[in-house]
Amino acid sequence: MQTSSQHHISQENHVKIGPSILSADFGKLNEEVATVDEYADFIHADVMDGHFVPNLTFGAPVVAKLQSKLPVECHLMISEPEKYVEDFVKAGAWMITIHVEACSEKTGEVLEQIRGLGVKVGLSLNPGTKVEEIEPYLDMVDMVLVMTVEPGFGGQSFMHECLNKIKWVREKKPNLAICVDGGVKDDTAKLCVEAGANMLVAGSYIFGAEDRKEAIESLRG
């Protein structure tokens, strides 16, 4: 993987699309990545520990072997992320996103740890978490990742009640990157962008499509 300092999150007019490799065929991961690499803006890597979420995926060694020219955002759905963030930085992560629910009182410390390692900092919240929970950290992060499904599995339905969180963050922070993850398809993507999102993650919608370029472009609206 390339080093990521060239990649910046900015307020360009086009919405940035991150295919979630959770819905790719893990047996041929780099071939799958190659089908989206030309068209997407970043790769979203879902890391699950069977504890914070009821599913398991992969760790830093898999991220290290990803062949992509795109920046890789690692979405850590794991307990005690502070123990692993350094491994993901070494593996080439461009951004590390942790969950506000995963580190109890230590969220601020872990965000600082990630910043100190020289990568972009993301903070996510589950559908059941009040958006006010992330308010103390908004000045410490490069991106908020709003979950619009219960984390753990791809292919679930978009939870419309989470749209208000996007609006809330956008009102508080006009220039912050806001990403949406879960149930994002052409129709729900539009709602997310209208609410103020400028980054979208999609797994089953992109990797389930025959024409992945078309799927990615349809999300940009």
Contact residues: ligand DX5, CB under 6 A: 20, 22-23, 44, 46, 75, 149, 151-152, 154-156, 181-184, 201-205
Give the residue at shortest CB distance from Zn ion. Answer: 75
Least Cβ distance, residue 23 to ligand DX5 (angstroms) = 5
Amino acid at 117: L
In this structure, what are the phi and psi dihedrals at residue 143, rounded to the nearest 5 degrees?
Answer: -155, 140
DSSP annotation of 31: H
Q: How many CB atoms lie within 10 A of CB 157?
A: 11
DSSP annotation of 164: H
Least Cβ distance, residue 22 to ligand DX5 (angstroms) = 4
Which position among 37, 49, 142, 181 bears the catalytic label?
181
- Residue 112's nearest CA partner among 146, 80, 85, 76 is 85
C-beta separation of 202 from 185 below 8 A? yes
Please indicate whether residue 46 is annotated as part of the active site.
yes
Interface region with Zn ion, contact rule CB under 5 A, candidates 39-47, 100-108, 130-138, 171-179: 39-47
For the window 153-182, what string marks contact with Zn ion as x by the rule CB under 5 A?
----------------------------x-
Give the active site residues. Answer: 46, 181
